């Protein structure tokens, strides 16, 4: 037996010696996955003489910065400055047969032509079908005007969708006739002022405003319907809306505005819903009917050349003010009104159909849910939130609507078919009717069903918007096509570039939990105390936010041109919180992908480095002192300081607080180096 044991031992020793002498017989190291996409970022832009721990932005972009020349005309240049055509150029070029038909109608019809006859018939039919001439009371007159509006006449009030308790409601405000009869620039500015502010803009100034909205159906006590808004109730009834779904500012809040300092022209005071200024219900039936007919007459001049001349002559005879410019209908003003007020939804459909590749929306939605899942886990793993605050935050995140690319469902009634019309005035009525039909289709709908549609109805958020947004009052995020297309996202490019681009999703989600967003609940309603379940949680959040302010205020803006000048930290705080949160979330999603794909060794390290390089590439830009003074510090800028940090600080300020950035680039020291305990973690 001993011999057998010795023999086995000798055999085993012999095999081991053979393996040591011949390494090729050992088990091979696992082969790493390879990046399946194209890494197109030009590494010649890098300045490797810069220590990444001193200035990561310049490490990635320093040679490009040195070789890029600014001028008096261009004091800011980024990676898109000289790219032609621009994204907006591409969007502006979109068209189809239906849109071309509308453009072909954008002219006055010849007298007696088929178009003029069709336009005149429509104009007359609207009045005949409204019941205006048969009205026996002022209330009947207003309902008749509402019926005219449902057929395409401007109703004298503007209905703006918003969300209350998670459902679409409508806000009514006084509205000058949008088809205004002048091309004078001063009058256009006055007109534009009448269209502002939106309810959302007013609530940004005063979040408590939402609690001072009262339905047109009225409520008792101090929340009664203001007398000057009675006309609106009957107009919306005629339009086909329930007055319980349409809101105005209550009398209590209006009195508060009236007592405010008259020298301070707040946005809120500019709009008091003085709808009676257009249609005073105290007038006699005949006088009020004359007001309505005069309002209806605003469209008359667009029927034909003959009606244009008749309208201009009639209006100028009434114009007794010698200092006022001659009144005239204007096709250029008409086109501007249509583009500002009515065309967004139709143009959005063109963007969706012609610019977003098939299947991309679904692919991107899957990424959004990955981001949401990782964010939720980070909330659960938080070492500073109480369980109760975690619960509130998770409920809000779960309720957050993530709108990607374009609405899941298009409302056909809101997409006019101009092939059915022969004249300009028919098109005008089609646009207006389509908007009212769109409002009817969404009123009462949930945020999940209607938030994207509501957003696209605002001229400030068209589908062509070069951005992604968080909508605080809807608890919704929108990823517009701009961020779904190259160079941000492209299935053929490097995973590192694509996953870095996904940080935009995390950025917008994090806005729901920044210093402002955290004051609003899962429905987007302002709540005293916000999402915080305890004063201790709120205090800890404020402490961490304060550390982030101090960190950004320690960063040099332009050390050569502006020695000693540090970045702005307070105004930019919400965006800095979102930048940091978005990058941390996207980084974790990216790590999950690299692990699942099987990246190892040097290939893994390369892919990690590329993620951070892609981050610096996104903000590659050059700017000078004047740009920083104007944007960062608001010097001579009526809008005040920019809410985002300058691009260099957007990069350096974030990476210095990410543990894995240090490991990825082997950073042990440098101007950006922060001890692990000093790195700021919020979300």
Residue-wise pLDDT for 107-146, tens only, equals: 999 999 999 999 999 999 999 999 999 999 999 999 999 9
Strands 246-249, 167-174: pairing is: parallel
Backbone angles phi, psi at 600, to 5 degrees: -145, 165
**Domain check: are 241 and 353 in the same one?**
no
Is the Cβ–Cβ distance between 678 and 554 less than 8 Å?
no
For a pLDDT cut of 70, what percent of the chain falls above it? 85
Reported confidence tier of residue 251, pLDDT bands at 50, 70, 90: low
Report the pLDDT value the prediction gives residue 249, as an integer from 0 to 100.
Answer: 80
Domain match, 177 and 222 both: yes
- In-domain check, residue 28: no
3-class SS of residue 239: helix
If asked whether residues 312 and 371 sit together in one domain, one would say no
- For the stretch 57-112, pLDDT in tens is 999 999 999 999 999 888 999 999 989 999 999 999 999 999 999 999 999 999 99
Sheet holding 476-479: strands in order across?
A: 401-404, 476-479, 468-471
Burial of 37 (0-12, 13-18, 19+ CB in 10 A): middle
| The pLDDT of residue 3 is above 70 | no
Which of 380, 394, 275, 307 is closest to 120 using CA atoms? 307
Chain segment 170-208, per-residue pLDDT in tens = 998 876 555 555 545 555 555 554 455 678 777 877 777
Classify residue 426: in a domain, yes or no: yes
Q: Work out the pLDDT band at 271, boundaries 50, 70, 90.
A: very low
Domain presence at residue 545: yes
The whole-chain average pLDDT of the chain stands at 88
Could you say which of 303, 318, 341 is where a domain stops?
341
Residue 213 confidence (pLDDT) above 70: yes
Q: Are residues 176 and 307 in the same domain?
A: yes
The contacts of residue 558 (CB under 8 Å, 6+ apart) are 565, 624, 625, 628
Q: What is the per-residue pLDDT across 533-566, written as a single tens digit (0 to 9) for each?
A: 999 999 999 999 999 999 999 999 999 999 999 9
Distance CA 7, CA 10 (A): 5
Rg (CA), the chain: 31
| pLDDT interval class at 329 (50, 70, 90) | confident
pLDDT band (50, 70, 90) for residue 340: confident
**Does 49 reside within a domain?**
no
Residue after which a domain boundary falls, among 341, 356, 373: 341
Q: How far is the C-alpha of 36 from the C-alpha of 271, rounded, in Å?
A: 55
Q: Are residues 363 and 311 in the same domain?
A: no
Of the three residues 292, 309, 341, the one that is the final residue of a domain is 341
Residue 5 has pLDDT above 70, yes or no: no
Tokens of 473: 């009052």
Q: Which two tokens stand for residue 435?
A: 């908007």
Rounded distance between C-alpha atoms, residue 174 and residue 638, angstroms = 27
Q: What is the pTM of this model?
A: 0.86
Q: Which two tokens stand for residue 649?
A: 């600080």
The answer to whether position 42 is within a domain reads no
pLDDT at 268 over 50: no
Q: What is the dihedral of CA 49, 46, 586, 536, to 10 degrees?
A: 40
- For residue 527, the enclosing domain spans 343-405+418-440+462-678
DSSP state of 446: B
195 and 254, same domain (yes or no): yes
Q: What percent of the chain has pLDDT over 90?
A: 72
In a domain, 247, yes or no: yes
Task: Report the C-alpha gap between 147 and 641 in whole angstroms.
Answer: 47
Helices and strands, number each (H, E), in the chain: 27, 9
Examine residue 529 and state whether it is found in any structural domain, yes or no.
yes
The CATH code of the domain that includes 523 is 3.40.390.10
Q: What is the DSSP string of 537-572?
A: HHHHHHHHHHHHHHHHTTSBS-TTTSTTPBPP-STT
Together in a domain, 359 and 312: no
- The span from the CA of 627 to the CA of 582, in Å, is 26
Q: Is the dihedral of CA 11, 12, 14, 15 positive or negative?
A: positive
Of residues 674, 476, 507, 479, the one with CA closest to residue 580: 507
Band (pLDDT 50/70/90 cuts) for residue 325 is low
pLDDT for 282 equals 83
Q: Are residues 426 and 277 in the same domain?
A: no
- Segment 443-456 mean pLDDT: 95
Asked whether residue 383 falls in the same domain as residue 318, the answer is: no
How many folded domains does the chain comprise? 2
pLDDT of 158-167, one tens digit each? 899 999 888 9
Both 169 and 225 in one domain: the answer is yes
50 part of a folded domain: no
Residues 618 and 568 in one domain: yes
Is there a single domain that holds both residue 299 and residue 372?
Answer: no
> Checking DSSP bridges between strand 401-404 and strand 476-479, what pairing results, if any?
parallel
Mean pLDDT within 391-408:
97
Confidence check: pLDDT of 659 > 90: yes
CA distances from 102 to 114, 417, 475 (A): 16, 9, 36
Answer yes or no: are the C-beta atoms of 274 and 157 closer than 8 Å: no
Least confident of 31-35, 153-157, 395-399, 610-614: 153-157
């Amino acid at each position: 037996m001993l011999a057998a044991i010795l023999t086995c031992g000798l055999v085993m020793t012999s095999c081991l010696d053979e393996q040591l002498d011949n390494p090729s017989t050992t088990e091979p190291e696992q082969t790493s996955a390879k990046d399946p996409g194209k890494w197109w970022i030009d590494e010649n832009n890098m300045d490797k003489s810069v220590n990444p721990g001193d200035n990561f932005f310049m490490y990635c972009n320093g040679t490009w910065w040195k070789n890029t020349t600014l001028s008096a005309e261009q004091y800011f240049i980024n990676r898109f400055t000289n790219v032609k055509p621009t994204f907006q150029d591409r969007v502006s070029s979109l068209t189809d047969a239906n849109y071309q038909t509308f453009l072909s109608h954008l002219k006055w019809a010849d007298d007696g032509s088929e178009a003029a006859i069709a336009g005149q018939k429509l104009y007359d039919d609207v009045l005949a079908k409204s019941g205006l001439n048969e009205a026996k009371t002022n209330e009947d007159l207003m309902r008749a005007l509402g019926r005219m509006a449902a057929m395409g006449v401007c109703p004298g009030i503007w209905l703006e969708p918003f969300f209350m308790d998670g459902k679409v409601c409508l806000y009514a405000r006084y509205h000058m006739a949008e088809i205004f009869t002048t091309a004078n620039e001063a009058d256009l500015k006055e007109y534009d002022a009448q269209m502002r502010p939106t309810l959302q803009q007013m609530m940004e100034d005063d979040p408590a405003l939402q609690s001072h909205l009262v339905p047109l159906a009225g409520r008792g006590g101090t929340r009664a319907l203001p007398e000057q808004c009675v006309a609106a109730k009957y107009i919306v009834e005629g339009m086909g809306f329930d007055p319980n779904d349409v809101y105005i500012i209550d009398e209590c809040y209006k009195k508060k505005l009236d007592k405010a300092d008259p020298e301070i022209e707040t946005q809120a005071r500019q709009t008091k819903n003085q709808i009676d200024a257009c249609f005073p219900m105290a007038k006699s039936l005949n006088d009020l009917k004359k007001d309505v007919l005069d309002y209806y007459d605003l469209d008359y001049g667009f029927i034909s050349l003959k009606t244009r001349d008749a309208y201009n002559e009639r209006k100028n005879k009434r114009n007794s003010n010698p200092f006022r410019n001659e009144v005239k209908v204007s096709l250029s003003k008409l086109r501007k009104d249509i583009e500002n007020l009515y065309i967004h939804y139709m143009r959005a459909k063109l963007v969706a159909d012609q610019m977003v590749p098939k299947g991309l929306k679904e692919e991107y939605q899957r990424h959004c849910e990955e981001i949401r899942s990782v964010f939720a886990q980070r909330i659960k793993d938080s070492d500073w939130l109480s369980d109760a605050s975690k619960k509130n935050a998770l409920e809000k995140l779960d309720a957050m609507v993530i709108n990607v690319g374009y609405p899941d469902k298009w409302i056909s009634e809101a997409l006019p078919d101009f092939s059915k019309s022969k004249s300009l005035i028919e098109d005008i009525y089609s646009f207006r009717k389509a908007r009212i039909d769109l409002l009817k289709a969404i009123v009462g709908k949930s945020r999940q069903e209607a938030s994207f549609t509501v957003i696209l109805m605002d001229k400030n958020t068209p589908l062509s918007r070069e951005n992604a947004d968080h909508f605080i009052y809807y608890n919704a995020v929108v990823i517009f096509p701009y961020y779904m297309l190259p160079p941000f996202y492209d299935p053929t490019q490097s995973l590192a570039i694509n996953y870095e681009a996904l940080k935009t999703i995390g950025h917008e989600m994090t806005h729901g939990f920044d210093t402002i967003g955290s004051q609003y609940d899962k429905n987007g309603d302002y709540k005293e105390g916000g999402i915080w379940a305890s004063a201790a949680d709120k205090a800890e959040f404020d402490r961490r936010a304060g550390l982030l302010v101090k960190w950004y205020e320690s960063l040099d803006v332009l050390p050569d041109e502006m020695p000693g000048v540090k970045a702005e930290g307070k105004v930019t705080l919400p965006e800095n919180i979102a930048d940091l949160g978005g990058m941390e979330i996207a980084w974790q999603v990216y790590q999950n992908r690299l692990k699942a794909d099987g990246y190892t060794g040097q290939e893994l390290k390369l892919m990690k480095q590329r993620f951070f390089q892609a981050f610096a590439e996104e903000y590659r830009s050059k700017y000078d002192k004047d740009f920083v003074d104007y944007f960062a510090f608001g010097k001579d800028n009526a809008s005040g300081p920019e809410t985002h940090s300058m691009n260099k600080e957007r990069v350096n300020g974030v990476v210095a607080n990410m543990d894995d950035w240090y490991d990825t680039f082997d950073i042990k020291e440098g101007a950006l180096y922060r001890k692990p305990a000093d790195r700021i973690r919020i979300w």
